[in-house]
A and B are shown apart, each in its own frame.
Chain A
Amino acid sequence: MTLLRHSWSMSLRDLRNLVRQPWWIAISLAQPLVYLLLYSALFKNVAEIPGFEGDSYLDFVVPGIVVMSAMFAGGWGGMGVINDLERGVLDRFLVTPVRRGALIAGRLMQGAIVTVIQSLILIGLAWAIGADFPGGVLGVLVLIATAVMLTTAFGGLSLGLALVMRKEESVIGAVQLLLLPLMFLSTVFMQRALMPGWIQDASRFNPADWAVRAGREAVAANVEWSVVMTYGGSLALFALASAWLATRGFRAYQRSV
């Protein structure tokens, strides 16, 4: 109970601080829209390639963009802690009885909330420009859930990195280095059958691919729930492992004080 209450207090603080930045809101809204419009236009003719399943690239790419946005949002999620660390805010929290887990959970919850809102906006816009979601409301909810799991997983990793590296530039570099390949070594933009063999192999170990496969399956016409559960389950485990890593990062920080 206390853990939950403390986490919620922390989330509210982070959300409030974000909402107070008008530029952050503008950029967070604009970015997915730009992605959606540009990628669906740029790769429109991919649907014409022999071997492409289905007839609309837009339908195909929407879950990918939802997942990709969630992944990057998670990746940057740990940055805030560096500011807290430099300003002494983190030390101030650590000498209160706040549950240590709440310092991590609070940030991850805030990331989850932002991702839900961002995903809803993306899906709404995609629907407005003609994307189809045969899986219906349930499918869309599952897609959002996978996006949330992915953002939590990368949020935990990012937090752990931030606590160990303690420099914004280093974290930005590390996150770019990690996330860009993950985005391209997946079925975010391209169907599996159309990818080179080695990328197919690599994508098997890619959490971004697990998320996009689970999410895309959930909004498809004939949902194979076993696929959703398998990839969703792996993703959940990965998210737990990252959250645990974040707690290790915290320990490392505390030892250095």
Chain B
Amino acid sequence: MNNVLEQNTVPEEESMQAIEAHGLEKTYPGDVRALDGMSFSVEAGTIFALLGRNGAGKSTTVKILTTLSRPDAGDAHVAGIDVLDDPDAVRHAIGVVAQRSGVDRDATGRENLTLQGQLYGLRGRRLRKRAAELLERFGLAEAGGRIARGYSGGMQRRLEVAMGLVHRPEVLFLDEPTTGLDPEARKFMWEEIARLAGDEHLTILLTTHYLEEAERLAGQVAIVDRGRIVVEGTPESLKGELRGDAIHVGLGEPEANGRVQAALERVAGIRELVLDGQSLRARAENGAAAIPSVLGALEAAGVRVTAATVSRPSLDDVYLRYVGRTFDQADDDTKEVS
């Protein structure tokens, strides 16, 4: 209890997987099924991203892994410790930056850090030193004595990450760490997160609904939809599975499946056709070569085309393939500004 460092050593044979979740299920009152068989594992020292729209089950997963909430079924280990059997030991091993701030806005940055440290058993000179070190590192050295109410969004988020690290955890949970930040603050946060994983050999579980964020930071990405993981892999392997280029054609009017489908069936090399209103997506081994025949077939069928693009596969395409909606559309129902 008193020695935080001691708590942080993991038994040798467990050290490969920092997080293991198996068959997690959770239903909230009102029959809201938040998790429906969520399973994944995260190798120690890596960054793992859970990617999905709001309400997909990312935050619920984080709540369970961080001992805040209990699953209805399934089990999970964090840092080799069972989250249901020994939540207190898990709490010593993890740092958490939740989606909702959690900063005490009536206290200064330094006071926030100090109290956080005290809860992990840090005291005296060691705590003061650690707080000063973290304030410095997160660019808050000058602001440390000011009341957090006056901090900008970026400063507050940096303070939250600093608080999550005060006891040098093994596993850090970042629940949508850059949602609501301006581009500059987001860039700073990305650099800092990348550095944490690199220098400190920290395992990081990141949830995000920014494709770019997952792609940039995570070694391993899992796409979450309706409370379960639909596909998982490195960003490269996920994109590699798609084989070939993405073709995106904007249509003049919303089209129901039928004539578009029929028109394109005859075009060679076109696969994985997805039509969603005015947006038509498909894949082809060589996108640039396929475009003329696609446009020709559409024109012959009397379908008006407003735009056509060819791109290398992106995570968005991966998302589309497995969730069946594009990421932006899936995210439309949320109030977050991306």
- Given A16-B111, A95-B91, A98-B119, the answer on whether A89 and B69 have CB atoms closer than 8 Å is no
Q: How far is the CA of A9 from the CA of B120 in the complex (A)?
A: 11
Does A95 lie within 8 Å of B107, measured CB to CB? no
B44-66 residues at the A interface, CB under 8 angstroms:
63, 66
Instruction: State whether B107 touches A97 (Cβ < 8 A).
Output: no
User: Which one of B1, B98, B102, B105 has the greatest number of beta carbons of chain A within 10 Å?
Assistant: B102
- How far apart sit A96 and B118, CA to CA, in the bound complex (Å)? 10
Which bucket holds chain A's interface residue count? 20 to 34
State the majority secondary structure of interface residues on A: helix
- Per the bound structure, the CA–CA distance linking A256 and B103 in Å amounts to 21
Rank and list the top 10 A-B pairs by shortest CB-CB distance, nearest first. Answer: A88-B100, A92-B102, A88-B102, A96-B119, A17-B106, A98-B119, A97-B91, A9-B118, A95-B96, A95-B66
CA–CA, A177 and B120, complex, Å = 40
Complex contacts, A254 vs chain B, CB 8 Å: 68-69
Query: How many inter-chain contacts with C-beta < 8 Å in the A-B complex?
Result: 69
Q: Please report the total number of B residues contacting A with Cβ < 8 Å.
A: 31
Residues on B with C-beta less than 8 A from A13 are 104, 107, 111, 115
Q: Complex: how many Å from CA A6 to CA B99?
A: 25
A5 at interface (Cβ–Cβ under 8 A)? Answer: yes
Asked if B19 CB lies within 8 Å of chain A CBs, one says no
**Do A6 and B102 have beta carbons less than 8 Å apart?**
no
Most buried by B among A20, A96, A256: A96
Say whether A226 faces chain B, with CB atoms less than 8 Å apart: no
Residues of A contacting B101 with CB < 8 Å?
87-88
Query: Quick one: closest A residue to B118, CB to CB?
Result: A9
* A6 contacts B96, C-beta separation under 8 Å: no
- Interface digits, B55-97 against A, CB 8 Å rule (1 contact, 0 not)? 0000000010011110000000000000000001001101010
Smallest beta-carbon distance B79→chain A, Å: 13
Nearest Cβ on chain B to A91's Cβ, whole angstroms: 6
> How long is the Cα–Cα vector from A17 to B107 in the complex, in angstroms?
7
Q: A9-B119, A87-B103, A256-B29 are in contact. List 13 more A-B contacts (CB 8 A).
A: A2-B1, A17-B106, A17-B107, A20-B147, A88-B99, A88-B102, A89-B104, A91-B102, A92-B96, A92-B98, A95-B91, A95-B96, A97-B91
